[in-house]
Amino acid sequence: MNCYDWPQYWDLAFDEDTHLEADFIEAAGRKYCSFPVKRLLEPGCGGGRLVFELARRGYDVSACDLSDAAVSYATERLAAADLSANVVVDDMRNLSCEPAADIGYCLVNTFRHLLTEEDAASHLQAVANSVRSGGLYLIGMHLLPPDADEEDNEEWSVSRDGTTVTMQLDVAQCDRKTRLETLKFRMEAVTHEADSPQLFETDYRMRIYRAHQFEELISQVPEFEILDVYDFWYNIEEPLQLSDEMGDTVFVLQRS
């Protein structure tokens, strides 16, 4: 059972920040790019909540995901709204985008699905080859500061159009030596159609980063430089100072 194969519920659970994130992507383009931004790229797009919102705002979006179900859902949702985007099943470790994108973005920890340094570097190189000179790659993820609680958990519910999704997220098996942790997702969906709640549970392995480890990774891909960092408030007026104490972080990388 893979929660990512149920994008109608997953996207609803994460939809609250979609407008804020899309606003930030646009604001980053205005602040850091010396050309008008038209083409966007999203590796690991899931059910396409951001692809949909940015296509709706007029951008030419290319995106990929490993999940057939997520890509089908995104494609059907776009078609139903008479929008278009290029959404395909592909592995973000070796994606390519032609013509090159102006901005790539990879938010909400998707980057941490790349479990080894080699996979992360190969993904960054693939994105560097797919983003134009002067373009950006925005990566949003949780960093793990030294004093962070390793047994974190969260729970929230979202309701819309007769569907309620409750998401429980538990961090288990956090190992700073191997730099891997397990995120346990428990997603419950209550709909008019089903007689009883549907329950989906998946454990996802994620790579752990501290700020300096991310900087070391970026130094392996000379095409990218870290321009600025933000947190999940996405306030483009207030870049932050990157440090090993940071948790929620959005990196703005620029392609040379």
Ligand X SMILES: C[S@@+](CC[C@H](N)C(=O)[O-])C[C@H]1O[C@@H](n2cnc3c(N)ncnc32)[C@H](O)[C@@H]1O
Contact footprint for ligand X (CB under 6 A):
4, 14, 44-46, 49-50, 64-67, 70, 91-93, 107-110, 113
Residue closer to ligand X by CB (options 67, 166) is 67
**Torsion, CA 83, CA 138, CA 254, CA 78, rounded to 10:** -10
Q: How many C-beta atoms lie closer than 10 Å to residue 8's C-beta?
A: 15
Contact 227, 242 (CB under 8 A): no
Quote the CA–CA distance of 216 and 181 in Å, as a whole number: 20
* CB of 29 or CB of 237, closer to ligand X: 29
Q: What is the CA radius of gyration of the chain?
A: 18
C-beta closer to ligand X: residue 71 or 229: 71
User: Minimal distance in Å, beta carbon 55 to ligand X?
Assistant: 14
CB 196 → ligand X: shortest distance, Å? 26
CB nearer to ligand X: pick between 7 and 135: 7
Cα(210)–Cα(176) distance, integer angstroms? 10
Q: Minimal distance in Å, beta carbon 141 to ligand X?
A: 10
Task: Copy the structure tokens of residue 130.
Answer: 């797919």
Q: Which amino acid is at 45?
A: C
Closest residue to ligand X, judged by C-beta, is 46
User: Minimum CB separation from ligand X for residue 92, in Å?
Assistant: 4
CB of 70 to ligand X, least distance (A): 5
Closer of 123 and 255 to ligand X (Cβ): 123
Helix, strand, coil share (%) of the chain residues, nearest 5: 30, 35, 35
